[in-house]
């Protein structure tokens, strides 16, 4: 084997090992925090196509709805701004859908200014603080299972320990793709977060 092939083989092996190391906490956190009693849940936005929520957003809304049904005192912060190709903000799309599912609108707070997970969390924490509460230890995020670990990392960076309610990605091929992609997001967060 030539020297170049050996170097390439070693680099590929190192990349594979690093990928596995990154995936461990992503997979470990994917189940959420069963039994966590949240006073607030922050539902992280996902794409809206025109007025129609994307599949990822639907999955997050369904998990939020189920949590709100099971925890009648919890309040949801619906977090997501409006992209260039969206007719409504992600927060507004969630608000309309959750109300249509029988969730009392007084339990829903819209946060419409954010365009990233860090902004979602920072703006939502400010809303909780404006209500006289400290978000630390009483707040859970509702997001896709592959995204939980990175969202918790960002929460810690902002000084808040979060619980998590997972939204399960319906299609296996999509789930696998997102778990792989998330490794790059987590790596970025570790290096630059």
pLDDT in tens, 139-190: 999 999 999 999 999 999 999 999 999 999 998 898 999 899 999 999 999 9
What value does the mean pLDDT take over residues 69-96?
95
Specify the pLDDT at position 134.
Answer: 97
Q: In the predicted model, what is the mean pLDDT of residues 45-54?
A: 93
Q: What was the pLDDT predicted at 192?
A: 86
Average pLDDT on 84-110 reads 96
**pLDDT higher than 80, residue 114:** yes
Model confidence at 35: pLDDT above 90: no
Mean predicted confidence (pLDDT) in 105-132: 96
**On the CB side of 37, how many CA atoms lie within 13 Å of its CA?**
2
Nearest to 160 by CA among 120, 111, 192: 120
pTM: predicted TM-score of the whole model, two decimal places:
0.92
What's the whole-number mean pLDDT along residues 73-78? Answer: 98
Least-confidence region, from 3-7, 73-77, 87-91: 3-7
What pLDDT score does 193 carry? 75
* 42 contacts 140 by C-beta, under 8 angstroms: yes
Q: What is the pLDDT of residue 1?
A: 64
pLDDT of 107 reads 98
- 10 versus 193: which is more confidently predicted? 10
What CA–CA distances, in Å, run from 146 to 26, 83, 134, 176, 189?
A: 6, 22, 26, 9, 14
Whole-number pLDDT of residue 164: 97
Asked if residue 84 has pLDDT above 70, the reply is yes
Number of neighbouring beta carbons within 10 Å of residue 93: 28
């Amino acid at each position: 084997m030539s020297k170049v092939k050996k170097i390439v083989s070693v680099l590929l092996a190192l990349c594979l090992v690093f990928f596995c190391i990154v995936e461990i906490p992503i997979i470990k956190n994917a189940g959420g925090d069963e039994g966590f009693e949240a006073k607030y849940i922050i539902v992280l936005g996902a794409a809206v196509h025109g007025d129609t929520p994307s599949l990822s957003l639907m999955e997050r809304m369904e998990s939020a709805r189920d949590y709100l049904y099971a925890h009648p005192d919890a309040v949801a912060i619906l977090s997501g701004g409006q992209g260039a190709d969206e007719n409504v903000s992600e927060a507004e799309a969630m608000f309309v859908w959750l109300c249509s599912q029988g969730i009392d609108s007084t339990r829903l707070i819209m946060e419409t200014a954010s365009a990233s997970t860090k902004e979602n969390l920072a703006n939502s924490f400010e809303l909780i603080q404006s209500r006289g509460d400290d978000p630390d230890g009483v707040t859970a995020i509702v997001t896709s299972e592959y995204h939980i670990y990175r969202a918790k990392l960002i929460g810690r960076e902002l000084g808040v320990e979060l619980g998590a309610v997972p939204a399960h990605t319906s299609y296996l091929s999509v789930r696998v793709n997102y778990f792989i992609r998330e490794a790059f997001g987590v790596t970025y967060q570790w290096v630059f977060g």
